[in-house]
Amino acid sequence: MKKKFDRVYQFKITLKGIRPPIWRRIQVPETYTFWDLHVAIQDAMGWEDAHLHEFEMFSPSAGEKVRIGTPTEEAELFGQKIIPEEKQKVADWFSMENKTANYIYDFGDGWEHKIELEKILPRDKNIKYPVCIAGKRACPPEDCGGVWGYEEFLEAIKNPEHKEHKEMLEWIGGEFDPEYFDPKEVIFEDPDERRKYLWE
């Protein structure tokens, strides 16, 4: 059963280190947990949720930045505290006074995203949330090597003389338009279903 909610949180998610910027604007229910927000970010950006992730955010109660994600044995081994994301509601953390967080996806490639709370709005009964209302530019391909690897990938596919041109085009499936993004094409999956699928 879906939880009832009266307000929605509007976030802008911007991929760090790439110019011109790759970004998305989404609206999510106030009942969302950080796990739910993670799934919404993955779907809006165009990632495949194939790697680990984590949020970093300032905690007013702790007076310092904390890590929110999925606690791992490795983190425990090194004494690193990770707050379980599925138990933390975004409404308890984000406010207009504490409106930014860092979201890291794929610790190997190191994709960092800036999350910024732009507005807290009344729910529109005619809209099915979450929703992506705007954005620019395509998401980089998974496993392309982070910011630097993505730049090299783009150079290779746009230059027929590049030694990796053919190989990279084959790898990406024949074509890739870095400028293309249509918010109407974003499909949001159910976060609970995603958890079952990934964790079973």
Range of 130's domain? 7-139+181-199
> Are 113 and 157 in a shared domain?
no
pLDDT of residue 9: 98
Residue 95 lies in a domain: yes
Residue 1 lies in a domain: no
> Are 135 and 145 in a shared domain?
no
Yes or no: say if 88 and 34 are a contact pair by the CB < 8 Å rule. yes
Cα separation, 50 vs 46, whole angstroms: 12
Full-model pTM: 0.93
> Are 105 and 163 in a shared domain?
no
N-term to C-term CA, the chain: 21
Q: Residue 21 belongs to a domain with what CATH number?
A: 3.10.290.30
The answer for 24, left when phi > 0, alpha when psi is -120 to 50, beta otherwise, is beta
> Mean pLDDT of successive 10-residue segments in the chain (200 residues)?
86 97 98 97 97 94 91 71 94 96 96 98 96 98 95 92 90 93 97 77
| 104-138 per-position pLDDT tens digit | 999 999 999 999 999 999 999 999 999 999 999 99
> Are 156 and 80 in a shared domain?
no
Yes or no: say if 25 and 9 are a contact pair by the CB < 8 Å rule. no
> Are 166 and 124 in a shared domain?
no
Cα separation, 14 vs 3, whole angstroms: 28
Residue 76 lies in a domain: yes
Yes or no: say if 41 and 103 are a contact pair by the CB < 8 Å rule. yes
> Are 76 and 174 in a shared domain?
no
> Are 72 and 134 in a shared domain?
yes
Total domains in the chain come to: 2
> Are 109 and 148 in a shared domain?
no
> Are 112 and 161 in a shared domain?
no
Residue 2 lies in a domain: no
| 158-167 per-position pLDDT tens digit | 988 888 998 9
Yes or no: say if 82 and 70 are a contact pair by the CB < 8 Å rule. yes
DSSP string, 170-184: HHHTS---TT---GG
Residue 59 lies in a domain: yes
Cα separation, 79 vs 88, whole angstroms: 21
